Amino acid sequence: MIRNFLALLRPADALNFLSLTALTILIVFSGSRIPQAPYLILLYSGLFLVQALLLLLRHRSRFMHWAYHLIFPTVSILAIFDSLEYVVHAVNPYDIDQLLIELDFLLFSGHPTVMLEKMMHPLLTDALQIAYASYYLMPFAIGFVLLAEKREQEFDLALFMIMLCFYLSYAGYLLFPAIGPRFTITHLQSTDLRGFILTAPIQELLNRLEGIKRDAFPSGHTAITLTVVYLAWRYEKRLFAVFLPVAIALIVSTVYCRYHYVVDVIGGVILTLLTILLGEKYYGYQTNNTDR
């Protein structure tokens, strides 16, 4: 029975099960260091069980089909990310912000977020803040298009690559906790980041949704966005034409809007390359074995 169940798993399913299991083990072994441990174990176990149930029921209805392929992976990624607020600093309390600040200063002979004040304009700030927020839409958009076009093989690979990039970035937050320049060097900024109309409400919304996490290094915004752009270039050229300028603006916004150090962005680019390399190799190996 277990062997039959495992045979149903896509690489994305196996990756999510593995990630949830690894996080549960981490929480159990962290013990009293994480006061929210019971909630987290319940959360990860619940996600595990819901995924297993959807895996078995995915052919029962169109809703189950979409829930299994797109809705649940999105919920799982966001739920795990939200849970890291309780995990990262409890497991690894040693922030590396000072190292990142020094590396940025070494590269630019200054602090990039401070240097960018020279080009600040309310309309530009609004535009870049919107671009930054588009990070949440781009992965869902390419998944929705591929699934709506019934290109399930391409969708499965895209889902696996995006999930792999997310979970590798989460591992990076655990290994290299950093809170980012909007908290660490705000005293060096000579002016607040002001938009015309949209910046303040978008920032407030993102602060409510994301909370305060040690999620600066590597830049997940950069890594996920570049991974999605790569997938769009490979599978959906129309989306690629739309995504590319947005992605460029988004990557600029990570520093301009003071969410990331430039070193974080470099780390995000490296993470993208690692995702593509590992993802293509693993996915090819798994699907070849499944076809035998």
Give the tens place of pLDDT for each residue, 81-108. Answer: 999 999 999 999 999 999 999 999 999 9
Bigger pLDDT: 290 or 222? 222
pLDDT at 292 over 50: no
Residues 50 and 114 in one domain: no
Residues 123 and 243 in one domain: yes
Count of domains observed in the chain:
2
Give the tens place of pLDDT for each residue, 134-151. Answer: 998 999 999 999 999 999
Give the tens place of pLDDT for each residue, 27-43. Answer: 999 878 999 999 999 99
pLDDT at 291 over 80: no
pLDDT at 216 over 60: yes
pLDDT at 108: 96
Closest CA to 41 of 20, 72, 13, 55: 20
Give the tens place of pLDDT for each residue, 241-270. Answer: 999 999 999 999 999 999 999 999 999 999
Tell me how far apart the terminal alpha carbons of the chain are, to the nearest angstrom.
20
Place of tokens 């999605």: 228
Residues 75 and 103 in one domain: no
| Domain edge (last residue) among 68, 91, 114 | 91
| Domain edge (last residue) among 66, 91, 116 | 91
Q: Give the range of the structural domain holding residue 276, as residue numbers without chain letter.
A: 94-292
User: Which band of pLDDT confidence, cut at 50, 70 and 90, is reported for residue 206?
Assistant: confident
* HEC per residue, 49-64: HHHHHHHHHCCCCHHH
Contact 109, 179 (CB under 8 A): no
